[in-house]
Amino acid sequence: MPVRAEHDRAVLAALLGRDPVLHAYQLGDLDDFFWPYTSWFRRDEEVALLYHGADPPTLLAFAPPPRVGRLAALLRELAPVLPVRLWAHLSPGLESALAGAFRLDAAGPHHRMALTDPARLATVTPAGTVLDAGDLPALRRLYDVAYPGNWFDPRMLDTGQYVGVRDGGELVAVAGVHVFSPAYRVAALGNVTTHPRLRGQGLAGAVVATLCRRLRAHVTHVTLNVKADNAAALRLYGRLGFTRVADYGEYALSAHPR
């Protein structure tokens, strides 16, 4: 079966739903909130997503080790029609499938984590209130100081799943989501940070715990991505009941001159 565009969300949900934690971001992007920004490609039972809601677009391609070869075949066929610049999140081994068409600059190994022991959330005193569009200026100020270069789209506030802590009226800690889909029962944490002057006081754990409790009322799987060398974040999420469930790499891709 050659690669083809797939437009049937029910088909995609069935294929991705075989491993909802590995494919949490893709399942979340099936939601009406994200769907208009997506292009989907399928070869037999393997699926790749090109997400257009970021600049550059982001390619998501994940498979467990036994299926990496089949997904690599999809990517080799897909490579000629991909944008000349893009970002990619790829399961280990898939980068070689794109090396013939693109220069790949690695951003390092990453882990996918999932909330597997939610009872641990009770060990952290929650804090924070829900943010909305009116908090956008304060949130931008915090990200400029504490998390420059993060991937944040103001539309994400419309999910209602951003929680922040204030100090003297200033927003000083936040936890949010990259995807949130009650319809597909998945969420992925993202854009978590604390103001540098208040780090080490437990604020990140408090807002993440609050957000996770909110999310679990709507979804089955709470996941996140974290850089493999971010020891502080790994300790924090481990304390809160998250477990490393998969590895992947992030890459900046630029097409080879023809």
What's the pLDDT tens digit per position in 69-127?
A: 999 999 999 999 999 999 999 999 999 999 999 999 999 999 999 999 999 999 999 89
Q: What is the pLDDT of residue 149?
A: 83
Report the mean per-residue pLDDT for the chain.
Answer: 95
Query: HEC profile for 134-187?
Result: HHHHHHHHHHHHHCCCCCCCHHHHHHCCCEEEEECCEEEEEEEEEEEECCCCEE
The tokens describing 114, both together, are 């999932």
Q: What is the pLDDT of residue 46?
A: 97
Q: What is the pLDDT of residue 1?
A: 73
Q: Is 188 helix (H, G, I), strand (E, B) or coil?
A: strand
pLDDT tens readout for residues 4-63: 999 999 999 999 999 999 999 999 999 999 999 999 999 999 999 999 988 899 999 999
Amino acid 34 reads F
Task: Give the mean pLDDT of 134-156.
Answer: 93
Q: Are 250 and 89 in contact (CB under 8 A)?
A: yes
Instruction: Report the candidate in 41, 25, 215 with the shortest Cα–Cα distance to residue 115.
Output: 215
The tokens describing 113, both together, are 């984590």
Q: What is the pLDDT of residue 258?
A: 67
